[in-house]
Structure 1
Amino acid sequence: MARVGFTMKIKPEYREEYLKIHENVDHPLIDEYRRLGVNNYAIYLAEDGTLFAFLECDDFEAYKKAVEGSPNQKAWGTKVYHMFDIKPDQPGGLVMLTEAFHMDQKTP
């Protein structure tokens, strides 16, 4: 199972709207994520607009390819994409993180 962490940033003026829209995420999108092997997905928002996202999925590369052309993902993107503060050196606004530690059941 892949564990993936990444950050994004939203524009300050969209903080409340971003939180509000995530109170009711489209069920077709969630269902699609599950079909694509996503077992867990959480997003945390810091005061400065930084979003930290963590997801667990069976195959992250397969997931990324599948959602690129997904109508559900595109529909969701039209709702939120304008909120992101994207720098030219960050394709899609994502900054991928390296896992430095993970405590699991194998850890004594």
Structure 2
Amino acid sequence: MSKQHRGVARVAFLARQEEIRRLFDAGHTLAAIYDAHSDVLNVMSYSQFTRYVARYVRGQENRLQGSEGHLKALVRPSSSSPTSRSNEKSVAPVLAHRPNKIRDDLI
């Protein structure tokens, strides 16, 4: 097996992007599209194919990967200015344990 150069899979995908977009818009599944073009798309894995569809066909931006993406998803944008936040005290949430909960509270 010969060595593949970087970007070969992207070139193969982009060469068929319009046909893939047409099939996707017509309602074909990604697996069916990948299998139908397996003769030329065999230079990439199915997971890479789905990432290219998300980026080039659906128009989704790159998602952050790993823990950085999870951390940024948890951060809420602040509506207050940094100077007004410096005067506030940071208070940790308090969790209360109630061993005798009423059943209606659980439903």
Task: Verify same fold: TM over 0.5.
Answer: no
Q: Between Structure 1 and Structure 2, which shows a larger proportion of strand residues? A: 1
How high is the TM-score relative to the length of structure 1?
0.29
Higher helix residue share = 2
**With CA pairs under 8 Å and 6+ residues apart, which has the higher RCO, 1 or 2?**
1
Structure with the greater alpha carbon radius of gyration: 2
